[in-house]
Amino acid sequence: MAGTMQKRGRARRVTGILALAFILVGLYFALIGAPPDAYQGEVQRIMYVHIPSILTAYLSFFIVFIGSCLFLWKREKRDDILARSAAEIGVLFTSLTIIEGSIWGKPTWGVWWTWDARLTLTAILLLIFVGYLMLRSLIEDENRGAVCSAVVGVIGFLDIPLIHMSVYWWRTLHQPPSILRPDKMPWENVHPSMLIALAVNFAAFILLYFYLLSLRFRVGEMEEEVKTLKLYGGAS
């Protein structure tokens, strides 16, 4: 048992160090190595954090879904801790995605917010995550809280494709696809170092995500153990 813990701790540390390395290299490429975009200028550099952020947020949500499904099926505390940790980190990355998108939007479209499909979808994702966490904190019985939030985790994920479809239809049927094309990625003049910047930053975010997740998961496990010890092993 102690052996696995040590192995996990070592894997975590390695991930952390790799993450740091990729982050630093990624920062170099994002801010210096890659050239400014032909149309958007320097502001386009925000995409090097924005795209990895949104992908990490969706990954997190997927992990919440898996954890919730496993928990509902097998009722092992471990899966609940996984789901809870992924939800917490997911809220973080989703909020960051929205902030980055907003900051990118101001010089590009002139507004801090627009109800375009991508931003709207990310906002909805955030709402579902927040609902998950709020439900947890407002239900007093631990086990019931875990089951109920797992239900939100499962249904939320199943709903995502439907939300996606409905929001995209709504936006494309109602906005003239002329001046504002915020969903269009400027892939025309893609300099190779731009792709490298994106790839490195993407790897950096994924590594950082798993580092944070494993840390947070370990914290959850230990807190659970503390609770059990206090309940059954405590002072006479």
Q: What is the binding site for other proteins (CB under 8 A)?
A: 27, 30-31, 41-43, 45-46, 49-50, 53, 72, 89, 92, 95-96, 99-100, 103-104, 106-107, 124, 127-128, 130-131, 134-135, 138-141, 143-144, 147-148, 151-152, 154-156, 158-159, 162-163, 165-167, 169-170, 173, 208, 212, 215-216, 218-219, 222-223, 225-226, 229-230, 232-236
75 torsion bin: left (phi>0), alpha (psi -120 to 50), beta (else): left
Beta bridge partners of 41: 37
Q: State the nearest-atom distance from the C-beta of 59 to other proteins, in Å.
A: 16
Nearer to other proteins, 72 or 180 (CB): 72
Rounded to a whole number of angstroms, the minimum distance from the CB of residue 86 to other proteins is 13
Distances (CA, A) of 97 to 92, 120, 149: 9, 11, 23
- Single out the residue of 235, 76, 72, 86 nearest to residue 154, CA to CA: 72
Smallest gap, in angstroms, from Cβ of residue 187 to other proteins? 20
Write out the H or E segment, with its range, that includes residue 42.
Answer: none
Using CB atoms within 10 Å of the CB of residue 225, give its burial: 0 to 12 exposed, 13 to 18 middle, 19+ buried: exposed
Supply the minimum distance, in Å, between the C-beta of residue 178 and other proteins.
21
